[in-house]
């Protein structure tokens, strides 16, 4: 066994320094990486309080399969309430909810909500702006609409003169809950004071629609066209009465599932010939 007394002495001394230095460096790198990971290198151009219709117009400039695509949405409202779409300077017949309709990207659609529980005779006029689309399987777009729920709390806030902005987003698969969602009610997150709900939705997923509502109501005053209030009554696509789809297996999740990881759901119906 060969021994070098000089190397032995120095290796011992510098070995301790090496280890300490490497530990400090590792901690520094880990902290710096973590701190940098907190930042998102994104320069946001849009805010949720921008002019209605502006964000959608910017999206159309982006190109791609956005223009001319009627994005199916499903509007849900409290029980017994009715939804009317703005059509040709007025409002169409009230429809029960859930109400499916295909909206184009960029136009602002004005709705009328009537029959609000505990507020009979009062009406709220929210707007919907679709800013992005979804990509469902071919021929099954109406099976997977964007759900937009007008909660009773939001409607009451609007009746109280508050301005409510609701950003609907598609959940990021990396953050999605590993379980079936509530098929009746839409989950929502309060953006909190000072936070931009559009930016928050972008951090969680992909924003696809913005719903705004307040206490403004249409007033027939001569010279002031209702078209301004109705944003020009943009066209929309009515949902087909029957939504046929072929070659798909319908999964009906059970509402009694309590585990976050549901059991394997067996197909209960199939239209496969």
Partner 1 sequence: MSHTMLPHDRGRDPARRIAIGALALCLLASLVATGCKAPGTHNLPPATQLMHPGPGVDGPGPGVMMIDPGVPMMPPQSSQIAFVGPEGMIVAWDVSMPGAFDSEPLVCPGRYNFPQGAIYRLKLTSIPGRPGVELYPTLEVGPTMPRTDAYLAHNAIPVQVTEEDLDQVMTGNFVTKVIYLPDSEYQELAIAGVETLVSTRLDPGVDPIIEADRRGSIMAIFRLGNKDLQIPGAEGDGGMAMGGFGGGAMPAGFCGPGGGGGPGGGLPASLPGEPIAGVTSPQWGMPISGTPIGLPGPPHIPLGVPAGLQKHVITNHTHYDIPNPTRRIDMHVKQKPGFSYPRPANTVHIEEATVAPPAFFRRPTSDHMQLATPCGPECQ
Residues 201-260 that bind partner 1 (CB under 8 A): 212-217, 219, 221-224, 227-229, 231-232, 234
Among 17, 138, 261, 264, binds partner 1 (CB under 8 A): 17
Residues in region 26-45 near partner 1 by CB under 8 A: 26, 28-29, 32-33, 35-36, 43-45
Do residues 123 and 114 make contact, with C-beta atoms less than 8 angstroms apart?
A: yes
From the CB of 95, what's the least distance to partner 1, in Å? 21
Binding mask 147-176 for partner 1 (x = CB under 8 A): ----------xx--xxxxxx----------
Cβ proximity to partner 1: between 133 and 166 the closer is 166
Closest CA to 58 of 225, 198, 192, 173: 198
**CB-based contact 72:102 (threshold 8 Å):** yes
Looking at the Cβ atoms of 141 and 155, the one nearer to partner 1 is: 155
Query: Which H or E run includes 85?
Result: strand 82-87
Distance CA 169, CA 207 (A): 4
- Which CB, 109 or 142, lies closer to partner 1? 109
Give the separation between CA 235 and CA 87, rounded to whole angstroms: 8
Task: Look up residue 226 and give its DSSP letter.
Answer: H
Give dist(CA 221, CA 180) in Å, integer.
Answer: 49
Sign of the dihedral defined by the CA atoms of residues 146, 149, 150, 154, in that order: negative
Nearer to partner 1, 28 or 176 (CB): 28
For partner 1, give the closer residue by CB, 12 or 272.
12
Q: Is 88 in the site for partner 1 (CB under 8 A)?
A: no
């Amino acid at each position: 066994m060969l021994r070098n007394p000089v190397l032995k002495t120095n290796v011992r001394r510098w070995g301790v320094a090496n280890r300490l230095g490497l530990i400090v460096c590792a901690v520094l790198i880990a902290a710096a990486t973590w701190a940098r990971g907190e930042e998102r290198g994104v320069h946001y151009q849009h805010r949720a309080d921008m002019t209605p219709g502006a964000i959608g117009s910017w999206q159309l400039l982006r190109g791609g399969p956005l223009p001319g695509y009627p994005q199916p949405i499903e509007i849900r409202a409290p029980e017994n309430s009715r939804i009317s779409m703005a059509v040709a300077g007025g409002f169409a017949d009230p429809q029960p909810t859930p109400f499916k309709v295909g909206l184009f990207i960029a136009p602002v659609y004005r709705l009328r909500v009537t029959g609000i529980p505990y507020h009979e005779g009062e009406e709220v006029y929210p707007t919907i702006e679709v800013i992005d689309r979804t990509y469902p399987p071919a021929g099954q777009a109406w099976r997977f609409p964007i759900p937009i729920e007008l909660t009773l709390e939001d409607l009451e806030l609007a009746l109280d003169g508050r301005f409510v902005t609701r950003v609907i987003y598609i959940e990021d698969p990396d953050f999605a809950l590993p379980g079936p969602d509530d098929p009746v009610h839409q989950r929502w997150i309060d953006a909190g004071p000072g936070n931009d709900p559009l930016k928050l939705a972008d951090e969680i997923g992909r924003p696809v629609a913005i719903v705004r509502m307040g206490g403004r109501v249409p007033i027939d005053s001569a010279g002031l066209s209702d078209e301004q209030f109705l944003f020009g009554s943009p066209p929309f696509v009515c949902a087909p009465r029957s939504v046929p789809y072929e070659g798909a297996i319908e999964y009906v999740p059970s509402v009694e599932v309590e585990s976050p990881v549901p059991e394997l759901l067996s197909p209960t119906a199939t239209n496969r010939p």
